[in-house]
Amino acid sequence: MSILQLVAAVLQLNAPWVPAEPESFADLIVRRGRDNVLTYDDGISLRVQLIDPAAYGNAADLVVSAQSASGQPGQLALVGGLIPVEWRAALRRAGLSFIDVGGVVEVSWPRLRASSAQFGREVARRRRPAPLQKGHALVAEELLMAASAGRHPTVTGLAGQAAVDKSVASRTVAQLVGLGLVERSGYQGALRVVSLAELAELLAARTAWPGTEVVTGYAWGRTTLDTAATISRSAAEAGIDIAVTGRAGAAFLGVLGTSSPSEVRCWVSVNGRSLEEVAADLGLEPAPAESANVRVSADRWRFGVHRRAIARFDELTAMVAHPLRVWCDLHGEQRGSEFAAQLWGEISNA
């Protein structure tokens, strides 16, 4: 075979925006996996350095970083994630390969060329028959938060951080080990998440906003984010644990789109009360879904409000869910996958 002949290859990427089912583009097959690697059909494999555009403030810095990565022996560079349209020309001029969550694939590597506008299209999210119900979800969420920060907790540590019985933490870990998502060093040893992306995808599929109970209402605000700040103040005054999530939460975390979110989505801890009573204490006026600007969902197992924190946007402050939880909850919103792709860089590099 001539060294210049184009051959087929499989590109494996560890990123949650990569479709779960393999997709083909010309001679390239893209699939989700635990390592970033390109394998040619003649058996040669090369490492792939996946570069998240969300970590850069402009196209020039992104190009410099990608060029540096592509210069490493035995390694290919791939810009992957939500790539601003105006940046793509710079990537093309520099001869850099990229994959955008919105549907554009342009790969130009040794012996391989692939181009498509179909990658990453929205598909219906399917719930998987897997664990992460009730307190198990809280344990998995705490494990992901620890792993994204480079920590390797124990079962005992997870139980304490998630405020659940040790038996719940142990069963959760055992199930995740059985799924191949977690490795354990001895029965009581440190835990290692094999794939952040796969475990995060499972958590999102099983626990994304909303829960089984939702109440809609209206609260005054000059903008949607102002409304989120107002709701947060009302919750603090009423002693209600609340966490703004979804697109409004992402905006407070610095992930912005070309248009403002249309509503505020919140998790609230009901503590044995009805969700309607809690909504009334938040100052929400009852309103049908079509005219509401706030939606609250009961967080009976506290995985929505777990590790929430105050976040700022200009002069506004709101109580916002942890970035991992916001990421999980974004997928149900319009263009949610694009916003989630931006936020993933913060989660995986925390």
% of residues, the chain, pLDDT over 90: 26
Residues 82-115: tens digit of each pLDDT: 888 778 778 887 888 888 877 778 888 877 777 7
pLDDT at 126: 40
Domain contains 311: yes
Q: Which of 162, 178, 207 is the last residue of a domain?
A: 207
Q: Is the pLDDT of residue 188 over 70?
A: no
Instruction: Supply the angle between the helices 135-148 and 323-330 in degrees, to the nearest 10.
Output: 120
**Has residue 300 got a pLDDT over 80?**
yes
> What is the 3-state secondary structure of the chain?
CCCCCCCCEEEEECCCCCCCCCEEECCEEEEECCCCEEEECCCCEEEEEEECHHHCCCHHHHHHHHHHHHCCCCEEEEEEECCCHHHHHHHHHCCCEEEECCCCEEEEECCEEEEECCCCCCCCCCCCCCCCCCHHHHHHHHHHHHHHCCCCCCHHHHHHHHCCCHHHHHHHHHHHHHCCCEEECCCCCCEEECCHHHHHHHHHHHHCCCCCCEEEEECCCCCHHHHHHHHHHHHHHHCCCEEEEHHHHHHHCCCCCCCCCCCEEEEECCCCCCHHHHHHHCCCEECCHHHCCEEEEECCCCCCCCCCEEEEECCEEEEECCHHHHHHHHCCCCCHHHHHHHHHHHHHCC
Strand partners, 50: 78
Domain-embedded: residue 128 = no
Q: What is the mean pLDDT of residues 63-74?
A: 85
Q: Are residues 187 and 256 in the same domain?
A: no
Query: Residue 137: CB partners within 8 Å, gap ≥ 6?
Result: 203, 206, 207, 301, 303
Let me know whether 267 and 146 are in one domain: no
Is 130 inside a domain boundary? no
For residues 293 and 339, what is the distance between their CA atoms, to the nearest angstrom? Answer: 20
Is residue 343 located within the same domain as residue 227? yes
pLDDT at 187 over 70: no
Q: Which of 44-53, 130-139, 216-225, 271-280 has the lowest mean pLDDT?
A: 130-139
Q: Are both 275 and 161 inside the same structural domain?
A: no
Q: 13 in a domain, yes or no?
A: yes
Residue 342 covered by a domain: yes
Provide, rounded to the nearest whole percent, the portion of the chain with pLDDT above 70. Answer: 90
Residues 222 and 343 both lie in one domain: yes
| In a shared domain, residues 326 and 233 | yes
Tokens of 72: 């490493």
The pTM of the full predicted model, rounded to 2 decimals, is 0.68
More confident residue, 86 or 233: 233
pLDDT band at 225 (very low <50, low <70, confident <90, very high): very high
Q: Would you say residue 43 has pLDDT above 80?
A: no
**Domain shared by 288 and 188, yes or no:** no
pLDDT at 348: 65
Domain boundary among 207, 228, 263: 207
Contact 131, 199 (CB under 8 A): no
Do 171 and 93 belong together in one domain? no
**Residues 60 and 100 reside in one and the same domain:** yes
pLDDT per position as a tens digit, 136-184:
889 999 999 988 888 888 999 998 998 889 888 888 888 888 777 888 8
Do 298 and 193 fall into the same domain?
Answer: no
> Is there a single domain that holds both residue 233 and residue 322?
yes
Q: Which of 189, 207, 225 is a domain's end point? A: 207
Q: Phi and psi for 200 in degrees, rounded to 5?
A: -65, -40
Which amino acid would we find at residue 98? F
Q: Is residue 222 part of a domain?
A: yes
Average confidence (pLDDT) over 259-284 = 89
Q: Which residue reads 């304490």 in tokens?
A: 160
pLDDT tier at 309, thresholds 50, 70, 90: very high
Residue bearing the bigger pLDDT, 255 or 123? 255
What number is the average pLDDT over the span 185-208? 81
- For residue 13, the enclosing domain spans 9-116
Instruction: Say if residue 298 is in the same domain as residue 260.
Output: yes
What is the domain-level CATH number for residue 180?
A: 1.10.10.10
In the predicted structure, residue 322 carries a pLDDT above the cut 90:
yes
* Alpha carbon distance 36, 57 (integer Å): 24
Between 155 and 44, residue with greater pLDDT: 155
Q: Are strands 97-100 and 75-81 parallel, antiparallel or unpaired?
A: parallel
- Mean pLDDT (the chain) is 83
Give how many domains the chain has, as a whole number.
3
Residues 180, 194: Cα–Cα separation, whole Å: 7
* The pLDDT value given to residue 186: 66
Q: How many angstroms separate the CA atoms of 201 and 149, rounded? A: 18
Confidence of residue 5 (pLDDT cuts 50, 70, 90): very low
Per-residue model confidence (pLDDT) at position 307:
92
**Packing angle between helix 155-162 and helix 135-148, nearest 10 degrees?**
110
